Chains A and B, each alone.
Chain A
Amino acid sequence: MNALLSINGVSKRFRGLVAVDRVSFEVPEGGVFAIIGPNGAGKTTLFNMIAGVFPPDGGSIIFAGERIDGLPPDRICRRGIGRTFQIVRPFPALSVEDNVIVGALLHRKRVGAARAHAHDVLRRLDLYDKRAQRASALTLPDRKRLEVARALASDPKLLLLDEVMAGLRPTEMDRIVAILRELNRETGLTILLIEHVMRAVMALASRILVLHHGAAIAEGLPEQVMRDRAVIDSYLGVEAIA
C-alpha cells in the first residue's frame, strides 16, 4: 500500500523543551493508524503540526505526495485532512445540522447539496434525529460524534481524531468504534488517531506508533507493539499483558 501521509524526522521545540524529537512514520492509504503514549509524550503536538496549527522546527510532512508542513490549518483541511479536537469545539449556537453543513460546504457551492450530504453523514453517526438541536445542548458523547461528523462532511482523505474516546462510557465507545470501523471499511477512509483507551486502539488500529518523551520508541502491528519491552516499561505497565 502507498503511504498517504509520511512524517519524516519531524521535531518541535517549545523554548528548551523538545516536545517532538525527529519522529518518522508512514500512514498507509486506507489504514487505521494509532499513536499512543503517556501524557506529555508529544502526541497532540505532533497532531497539531500535521493539522497546521504550528509548523515543525525540522523535518517534513508529506500528504498525498505533496509537502504540507507550514501550511495554515484551513489550507491543510482543503487538501483533504479533517480533524477533531481533544476538547470538543462544535459551533455552540448553531444547530447540529448547520454544524455539519459548514463542513459539507467546503467542497460544495450550493447549500442544498451540502444539506443533503450533511444528512447522510448525520445518519451514519446516529445524529440525524438530533439535527435540529443546538450543538451546545448535546451531551458529550453526542458532541464528540458531531465533531467527527463535521470533519467527515468535508470529504477528507485522512481523518485525524484527537482522543475521541476520552470521557466516554464503554457502550458509547463501542458505538463510535463500530462507526469508525464501518467508515474505514466502506469508504476506505484513512484514520490517524491519538488514543489513551487501549481497548479502542486494539479494536481499531492496523498499525501503532508509541511516543515517549517526544521520541518514537516502537512502531508496528498491534500485537508486536503490545509485546515490546520498552513499550511495556514506559507506558502499558506489566499488568497489561498479564
Chain B
Amino acid sequence: MIASLIEGVPHRALALLGALLVALVAAPLVAGDYLLTVLILILYFAYIGQAWNIMMGFAGQLSLGHALYVGLGAYTAASLYVHFGIGPWLGLLAAVPVAALAGAFIGFLAFRFRVAGVYFAILTIAVAEFARVGFDHLSWASGSSGLFLPVAQFTHNDLWQLRGHPVMFYYILLAAAVLAFIFCRALLQSRVGYFWRAIREDEEAARSAGIDVFHYKMIAVVISAAMTSFAGVIYAFYYNNLFPEQVFHISRSIEIILGPIVGGIGTLFGPILGAVILTGLAETLTAALAAAGIDLPGAKQVFYGICLLLVITTLPDGVWPWVCKRIGLAERNK
C-alpha cells in the first residue's frame, strides 16, 4: 500500500517533501504567536484547497459554493457541542454526513438533469446562499446573532474537546493537510481517478468509453464535501464563533478556490503552494502595512486580485507546473 503510493515518485521529490514535512513539524518551536496563526491559515487553506481540487481539478466540476460544506460542518459540530455537550470528534460523525448529503443533493440535482459548467457553478452558489439566509433565521443555531463556543482555556490542551492552544490546532491541521495530500494522490492513481480525469477532459467521450458519468461525479462531490466539512469543524472550534453572514458568504468560497487556481488546478501540490503564496504573502503585506502605520482596508482583497491576474495572464496552468519545470520535476497525472 505504502510502496504503491510512493511508486514512481522521483527520489528528489520525496526528499523535498520530507524536508518540508520536517520543517513544518518543527515550525511551532520557533514561530511566534503571529507566525503561528498565519501557518494555521495556510494549512487550513491547503487542506480545503485539496478537497475542492478533487471536484474541479480531478473531475472537472466547478464548485463556487464550498463555503456551504465548511459552514455545515462548523455549525453541526458547534451546535451539538453547545446544546448537548457532544465533543467535536463525535460531532464529526454528524457533520461529515450532513455535508456529504448536501453535496449529494447538489450533485443529484445537477448531474441527473445535466446541469453543467457555469450553470452548475451557479447552482453551488445558490445552495450556499440558501444556507446563509436559512442559518440567519435558524434560532436553534442562534441565527444572525452568532453561535459562540465557550472560550478556550489555553492552560492545557484538551485534544478530545479541541480546547487549547493554537499549537494544537496547528498540528491537527498539519496532519489533515498531509493525509489529504496522500489521499488525493491515491485517488488520482486509482480507477476512480482515471475516470474522473476522463470526465473532466470530455464527458461525452467518457460516457462512450463505458463510464457511468453520473455515478463518478457523485463520488467526487460527496468526497469533496465530506473532506471540506472536517475543516469546518476545526474552524468552529478554533475561532469559537460562527456567523452565517461570514461562514457561508460567497467570499469564503472564493478564498477557498484561489489557492488551487494560483497553485495549479488538478495538480497535487498546487493547492498547498497556492495557500502558501496567497496567505503567506497577503499576511506579510498586512503586517508590513501595519508596521508602516498605513491603514488600508481591503488591501488583502486587492492583493488577491493582483495575484489572480498575474497567474491567469502569465501562468494559466498555475505556479506549481511552472516550478516543476524549473526544478526538473514532472508531476505526472496532471
Q: How far, in whole Å, are A168 and B166 apart by their CA atoms in the complex?
A: 65
Closest residue on chain B to residue A88 by CB atoms: B205
Interface residues of B in 195-218 (CB under 8 A from A): 195, 197-198, 201-202, 204-213
Instruction: Name the one of B202, B210, B212 contacting A91, with C-beta atoms under 8 angstroms.
Output: B202
A contact residues, total (Cβ < 8 Å): 27
Q: Of A12-20, A69-77, A228-236, which stretch is located at the interface?
A: A69-77
Closest residue on chain A to residue B189 by CB atoms: A111
Q: How far, in whole Å, are A2 and B72 apart by their CA atoms in the complex?
A: 59
Which residues of chain A have C-beta atoms less than 8 A from B333's C-beta? 98
Which residues of chain A have C-beta atoms less than 8 A from B190's C-beta? 111
B205 pairs with A90, CB closer than 8 A: yes
Q: Is A169 on the interface with B (CB-CB < 8 A)?
A: no
Interface residues of B in 207-260 (CB under 8 A from A): 207-213
Q: Is B334 on the interface with A (CB-CB < 8 A)?
A: yes
Q: How far, in whole Å, are A51 and B212 apart by their CA atoms in the complex?
A: 15
Q: State the Cβ distance, A149 to closest chain B Cβ, in Å.
A: 11
A105 pairs with B205, CB closer than 8 A: no
**Contact flag A77-B197 (CB < 8 Å), given A85-B205, A89-B202, A111-B189:** no
Q: Is A205 on the interface with B (CB-CB < 8 A)?
A: no
Q: State the Cβ distance, A162 to closest chain B Cβ, in Å.
A: 11
Q: How far, in whole Å, are A85 and B207 apart by their CA atoms in the complex?
A: 12
B212 pairs with A98, CB closer than 8 A: no
Q: Is A40 on the interface with B (CB-CB < 8 A)?
A: no
Q: State the Cβ distance, B251 to closest chain A Cβ, in Å.
A: 30
Which residues of chain B have C-beta atoms less than 8 A from A150's C-beta? 209
Q: Is B194 on the interface with A (CB-CB < 8 A)?
A: yes
**Contact flag A72-B194 (CB < 8 Å), given A91-B202, A92-B201:** no
Residue among B206, B207, B213, B334 having the largest count of chain A Cβ atoms under 10 Å:
B207
Q: How far, in whole Å, are A109 and B190 apart by their CA atoms in the complex?
A: 9
Which residues of chain A have C-beta atoms less than 8 A from B204's C-beta? 73, 89
B191 pairs with A73, CB closer than 8 A: no
Which residues of chain B have C-beta atoms less than 8 A from A85's C-beta? 205, 208
Q: Is A94 on the interface with B (CB-CB < 8 A)?
A: yes
Interface residues of A in 97-138 (CB under 8 A from B): 98, 101-103, 105-106, 109-111, 114
Q: How far, in whole Å, are A83 and B210 apart by their CA atoms in the complex?
A: 10
Q: How far, in whole Å, are A93 and B264 apart by their CA atoms in the complex?
A: 14
Which residues of chain A have C-beta atoms less than 8 A from B195's C-beta? 102, 105
**Contact flag A105-B191 (CB < 8 Å), given A91-B198, A94-B198:** yes
Q: Is A60 on the interface with B (CB-CB < 8 A)?
A: no
B209 pairs with A103, CB closer than 8 A: yes
Q: State the Cβ distance, A241 to closest chain B Cβ, in Å.
A: 37
A73 pairs with B201, CB closer than 8 A: no
A77 pairs with B209, CB closer than 8 A: yes
Q: State the Cβ distance, A146 to closest chain B Cβ, in Å.
A: 11
A102 pairs with B209, CB closer than 8 A: yes
Closest residue on chain B to residue A104 by CB atoms: B194
Which residues of chain A have C-beta atoms less than 8 A from B202's C-beta? 89-92
Instruction: Name the one of B191, B205, B207, B334 contacting A72, with C-beta atoms under 8 angstroms.
Output: B207
Q: Is A185 on the interface with B (CB-CB < 8 A)?
A: no
Q: Is A175 on the interface with B (CB-CB < 8 A)?
A: no
**Contact flag A73-B207 (CB < 8 Å), given A93-B201, A93-B334:** yes
B194 pairs with A73, CB closer than 8 A: no
A106 pairs with B197, CB closer than 8 A: no
B191 pairs with A94, CB closer than 8 A: no
Q: How far, in whole Å, are A151 and B210 apart by their CA atoms in the complex?
A: 10
Sample of 13 more A-B contacts, CB < 8 Å, known A83-B208, A94-B197, A102-B197: A85-B205, A89-B202, A92-B201, A93-B201, A94-B198, A98-B333, A101-B194, A102-B195, A102-B198, A102-B209, A109-B191, A114-B191, A154-B209
Q: Chain B interface (Cβ within 8 Å of chain A)?
A: 189-191, 194-195, 197-198, 201-202, 204-213, 333-334
Interchain residue pairs with CB less than 8 A apart (11): A77-B210, A78-B210, A91-B197, A91-B201, A92-B201, A94-B197, A102-B197, A102-B211, A105-B194, A105-B195, A111-B191
